[in-house]
Amino acid sequence: MSEPIFSDELFASYQHWSGIPTFLRCPHQPNFQDTDIGLLGFPYAGGNPVEHMQYLGPRTIRNRSMGFARAHREFKVDPFKLARIRDLGDVPQLHPLVPDLQAADAQAYYEKVFKVGIIPISIGGDHSVTWPILRAARNTRFPQPLGMIHFDSHTDSMPAMGGTKNHAGGFRIGTEEGIIDPKRTVQIGMRGPVALLEQDDWSNENFAAVITTESFVEQGEESVIKKVREVVGDGPTYLSFDLDAIDPVDAPGVADPEINGLRIREIMKVIHGFRGLNLMGADIVCYCPPVDNPSQITALTSCQLLHEFVTLIAENVAKKRTAA
């Protein structure tokens, strides 16, 4: 008898509505063994003074992402066969009411992640989650300032404010702390009214490139890809994605929505142009489930981005393994 085309095992793999939810239906691996790419929930939103419901992001994305345990259509690869991808669980929240203590706890946790060589992809939480991750990277495997690809409708380059250095003004703080290299940093998607014009001035003066939504649309995807690759080069680079970079049509459920944004189709084209970039980690932040629409379109958009980032990094892991 010939092999069935649609096996029981394959059939079971499509039952994404069944079982305990994990990111992309990956095995839960809280002790970090046998892992190349670690998916982490970072359910913390104390860095944003108003929209605290972002802490629900990881739980919702775990649910929705169960159906994304599939191959990458355009790249024609199955990331889950290229690398050991695991759900490491959630970042412990020992001091959720004290942002600086919480950041120190998270940093200690991520130091363990980096020390064993895992590449983390984190699901926030608000944008303050990025900095404990990157401080941990610097203290362990990446002592040199990192390249940064930052998608956002805001530059997040305000000075430290509100009594903490962990507010989402992090891209300025990250530069001042020497964690990211401003000459290897590109920001993409800025638009809308701005609290302080000086904030954008700081970005324009310090970062290699700030590609506003207007400039993105004017120059087109190919030109944006070229610019990003020029700026970050071959060195280790982090990808930080604030979902409010996307137009609210495709991502309404964010903490600080801004209209007239990039559509997910435009952003996906650019992300497909990041193949082979030396990504040492990534995050997806600012998803706020209670303000998503009933079909959870923002969760689905987040899951698609997660699948893209996982695939980009899994290809690098497989290439490295072959070269070794």
Note the residues at the interface with Mn ion (CB under 5 A): 152, 154, 242, 244
Buried b or exposed e, range 290-305, using 16+ CB within 10 angstroms: ebbeeebbbbbbbbbb
d(CA 106, CA 127): 14
CB-based contacts of 105, cutoff 8 Å, min separation 6 = 92, 93, 94, 95
* Among the listed residues 36, 53, 99, 49, the one whose alpha carbon sits nearest the alpha carbon of residue 315: 36
Compute φ and ψ for 270, nearest 5 degrees.
Answer: -65, -40
d(CA 110, CA 120): 8
CB of 186 to Mn ion, least distance (A): 16
Q: Which is nearer to Mn ion, 152 or 308 (CB)?
A: 152
Q: Which is nearer to Mn ion, 105 or 152 (CB)?
A: 152
Q: Which is nearer to Mn ion, 25 or 154 (CB)?
A: 154
Q: Which is nearer to Mn ion, 242 or 247 (CB)?
A: 242
Q: Which is nearer to Mn ion, 111 or 242 (CB)?
A: 242
CB of 124 to Mn ion, least distance (A): 11
Extended strands (E) in 32-163: 37-42, 85-90, 119-124, 146-151
| Joined tokens for residue 117 | 């060589």
CB of 167 to Mn ion, least distance (A): 12
Q: Which is nearer to Mn ion, 201 or 234 (CB)?
A: 201
Indicate the residue whose CB is closest to Mn ion.
154
CB of 173 to Mn ion, least distance (A): 15
CB of 3 to Mn ion, least distance (A): 50
CB-based contacts of 132, cutoff 8 Å, min separation 6 = 103, 104, 106, 107, 110, 166
CB of 156 to Mn ion, least distance (A): 6
